[in-house]
Amino acid sequence: MKSYILRRLLNLIPLLIGISFLTFLLMELAPGDFLTTIAQNDAIPPELIESMRARFGLDKPWPERYLLWLRNILFQFDFGESFSYRQPVFTVISGRLGNTLLLALAASLITWLLAIPLGVLSAVRQYTKWDKVASLFSFVGLSIPEVFFSLLLLFFAAKTGWFPTGGMRDLDWDYYSTGGKILDILHHLVLPAIVLGTIPMASRMRQMRANLLDVLRVEYVTTARAKGLDERTVIWKHAVRNAINPLITLFGFTLASLLSGSFIVEIIMAWPGLGSLTLEALRRQDLYLVMGSVLMASTMLVIGNLVADILLAIADPRIRYD
């Protein structure tokens, strides 16, 4: 397992280099750069624009700038300087990355804590009213777009006043106690987490139901029942443990969907995370901030897939990565 993890981490380097190259190339193919909009202001002297272009390194050919940026990352862990924030890229990203991870974690809890029990309930009580209600709930969750669902919950929050309509904290957050600050963030987190976790929760619930129904028909479950084991023991100790293995392999993909979906949710609900930061950087053509944001998101996705493989090996002793 140690050698497998080491190989996967080493393979991460060329993968991220390829992603960074494609991102840099696409940014260069876009018309203009960060200084193009500023240069349209007649009040700014052209000499100042040229000096800023030289300071940011935009006067050099793009292959040279990319290799210089790549060298600084590999040997100095320097992601460059954000044009718009005038701060190191890593400093800007680190302030937003934790917010995105918090949102993804909350959505993951909603996904898995609801999907597994509801899937088991639907399978054990197949074709009953519980199964029909859970199936209806999953179909609605799979059908509703995130954009529409976000706007619907924002309308609900505005009408009822039960939840904030955006942001991560109140204006007077700094004056709250420590417990009050935590509760305020959690209060703002409820609606974005529900939006982000609903679609993967509905999908995983349907998959858990289908997997468990297949497992309940195999011989070892019949044998366990014939031995006189309690039905709860048969379901949770024997059937669920084997039915959940395919879902573990989907953990990395679930994380990928949460991260990609968080970009939309963050923008609509004004959650100050990595997604909204990336969109802002793209609009301003803040090259190095975009590069750093894409690299950080890609790293999180690859690590999520690696964690899924490790969890699968732990859950299923038959799987080895030797």
Indicate if the pLDDT at residue 73 is higher than 80: yes
pTM listed for this prediction = 0.76
Structure tokens at 70: 């790549």
Domain map (residue ranges) of the chain: 93-283
Indicate if the pLDDT at residue 285 is higher than 80: yes
**Residue 99 confidence (pLDDT):** 85
Cα dihedral sign, 310-314-320-322: positive
* Adjacent-strand bridge partners of 81: 88
Structure tokens at 90: 């890593």
- State how far the Cα of 24 lies from the Cα of 289, in Å rounded to an integer: 11
Q: Is residue 11 left, alpha or beta, with left meaning phi > 0 and alpha meaning psi from -120 to 50? A: alpha
Distances (CA, A) of 70 to 36, 75, 141, 193: 24, 9, 42, 35
> What is the pLDDT averaged over residues 184-206?
86
Write the single-letter amino acid at 52: M
- State how far the Cα of 254 lies from the Cα of 202, in Å rounded to an integer: 12
Indicate if the pLDDT at residue 315 is higher than 70: no
Angle at 66 between CA 65 and CA 69, to 5 degrees: 85
Q: Within a 10 A sphere around the Cβ of 187, how many other Cβ atoms?
A: 15
The 10 Å CB-count burial string (b at 16+, else e) for 113-132 is ebbbebbbbbbbeeeeeebe
Structure tokens at 114: 């609801």
**Residue 54 confidence (pLDDT):** 78
**Residue 287 confidence (pLDDT):** 83
* Adjacent-strand bridge partners of 88: 81
Q: How confident is residue 97, by pLDDT bands cut at 50, 70 and 90?
A: confident
Cα dihedral sign, 303-305-311-316: negative
pLDDT digits (tens, 9 = 90+) for 99-114: 888 888 888 888 888 8
Tell me what the pLDDT averaged over the chain comes to. Answer: 80
> What is the pLDDT averaged over residues 238-246?
73
- State how far the Cα of 322 lies from the Cα of 310, in Å rounded to an integer: 12
User: Cα 167 to chain center, whole Å?
Assistant: 18
Indicate if the pLDDT at residue 1 is higher than 70: no
**Residue 168 confidence (pLDDT):** 80
The alpha carbons of the chain give a radius of gyration, in whole angstroms, of 24
> What is the pLDDT averaged over residues 37-65?
77
pLDDT digits (tens, 9 = 90+) for 127-177: 888 888 888 888 888 788 878 888 888 888 888 888 888 778 877 777 788
DSSP calls for 47-105: HHHHHHHHHHTTTS-HHHHHHHHHHHHHHH----B-TTT-SBHHHHHHHHHHHHHHHHH
**Tokens 């460059």 — which residue?**
80
Cβ burial, residue 221 (10 Å; 0-12/13-18/19+):
middle
Cβ distance 96 to 277 under 8 Å?
Answer: yes
Domain 93-283 has CATH 3.30.70.20: no
Structure-model confidence comparison of residues 267 and 234, the more confident one:
267
Indicate if the pLDDT at residue 217 is higher than 60: yes
Closest CA to 89 of 106, 72, 64, 107: 72
Indicate if the pLDDT at residue 253 is higher than 70: no
Write the single-letter amino acid at 138: S
User: Cα 65 to chain center, whole Å?
Assistant: 30
